[in-house]
């Protein structure tokens, strides 16, 4: 009986084993969207457009994937895997773009939620950005409001 339990667990894990660049990027950005426990169309739409602008992935595809995560009530317990793969596959400037997207989505409602800021800080650290660059990005986004 116990072996059936482990077999079903392993099957579920295998079917949810998407390690594509896009999947990792969506999971990272979705963390900012969900950090304040309020998922809005405004956040998803902005994130979709920004991913298209910075990474040339069609906005409609981005929107579908982010909405899919929201519909599944997706929760990332460990962001280190996603961020490690992005850190090793993206240049430093591209990783800065990821954090820039996070900050723009974070501030779309005009509020700097503590949970969102904490998540952005954690992601920045996991992506290997220096604190001065994190602060530069934050200030640039806040000054543009």
Q: What is the pLDDT of residues 72-126, one digit of tens each?
A: 876 666 789 999 999 999 999 999 999 999 999 999 999 899 999 999 999 999 9
Let me know if residue 52 belongs to a domain. yes
87 domain-assigned:
yes
> Is 128 inside any structural domain?
yes
Secondary structure (DSSP) of 50-89: HHHHHH---HHHHHHHHHHHHHTT---S--HHHHHHHHHH
- Judge contact between 46 and 108, C-beta under 8 A: yes
Domain that holds residue 126: 41-143
CA–CA dist 6, 23 (Å, integer): 26
In a domain, 15, yes or no: no
Per-residue pLDDT tens over the stretch 33-81: 999 888 999 999 999 999 999 999 999 999 999 999 999 876 666 789 9
For residue 35, being part of any structural domain is answered with no
Number of domains in the chain: 1
Q: Is residue 10 part of a domain?
A: no
Residue 78 lies in a domain: yes
In a domain, 94, yes or no: yes
Quick one: CA dihedral 79, 116, 60, 69, positive or negative? positive
Q: Which pTM was predicted?
A: 0.83
């Amino acid at each position: 009986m116990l072996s059936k339990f482990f077999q079903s667990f392993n099957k579920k894990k295998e079917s949810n084993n998407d390690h594509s660049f896009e999947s990792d990027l969506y999971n990272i950005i979705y963390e900012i969207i969900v950090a304040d426990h309020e998922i809005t169309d405004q956040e998803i739409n902005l994130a979709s457009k920004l991913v298209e602008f910075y990474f040339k992935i069609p906005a409609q595809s981005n929107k579908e994937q982010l909405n899919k995560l929201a519909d599944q009530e997706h929760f990332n317990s460990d962001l280190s895997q996603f961020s490690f793969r992005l850190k090793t596959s993206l240049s430093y400037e591209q990783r800065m773009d990821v954090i820039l997207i996070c900050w723009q989505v974070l501030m779309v409602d005009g509020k700097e939620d503590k949970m969102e800021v904490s998540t952005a800080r954690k992601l920045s650290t996991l992506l290997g950005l220096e604190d001065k660059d994190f602060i530069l990005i934050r200030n640039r986004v806040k000054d543009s409001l």
